[in-house]
Amino acid sequence: MIVDGEHTFPGPRQTVWDLLQDPEVLSKAMPGARKLHLTGDGTYEGVIRIGVGPVTAAEWSLNVALKDRVEPESYVMQVDSKGALGFTRGNATVNLNEVEGGTRMRYHADLSVGGKVAGVGQRLLDQVAKMLTKQGLDALNKELEARLRDGGAR
């Protein structure tokens, strides 16, 4: 499953970069996240709870590693999640570019989905992925706006 697109944040690139490295912010930006903990340099573990169509919500373990980081420009995110209903794993490339009025994020993810959750069909999985991506970007926007309003402190 491919998920790609772009989003412009109304703030400086370094601030956006910092948000994307903060486990507290990432857990807010990941719909269904129950917890997310920094376990090492650019590595995180957590638990998420997501349902897809007729597959009821279940908890999944989540491991995320940020690789090939070039601050504040880009990184590759490796994702591996597992639960009783299946798994997802794959990579996402994130690029941040300064643009007039903010920072443009371009993202491209290539994810494999397996188990019962894959049985709901590609079309539904694509719709859910787009919805979750939008929710995550909206949450990041809210956090960015709060930090900028508070003078960058948090």
pLDDT at 71: 96
Pairing of strands 102-114, 74-83: unpaired
pLDDT at 154: 46
CATH of the domain spanning 2-149, picked from 3.30.530.20, 1.10.540.10, 3.40.50.1460, 3.40.190.10: 3.30.530.20
Sites in the chain below the pLDDT cut of 50: 153-154
Residue 21 phi, psi dihedral angles, 5° rounding: -105, -10
pLDDT at 129: 77
Q: Helices in 30-153 by DSSP H: which ranges?
A: 122-149
pLDDT at 54: 59
pLDDT at 130: 81
Residue 31 phi, psi dihedral angles, 5° rounding: -55, 135
pLDDT at 57: 65
> What distance in Å separates the CA atoms of residue 104 and residue 135, rounded to the nearest whole number?
17
pLDDT at 153: 46
Task: Report yes or no on whether pTM surpasses 0.95.
Answer: no
Length of the chain: 154
Domain boundaries, the chain: 2-149
Residue 100 in tokens: 């007039």
Residues whose CB falls within 8 Å of the CB of residue 53, separated by 6 or more in sequence, listed in order? 120, 121, 124, 128
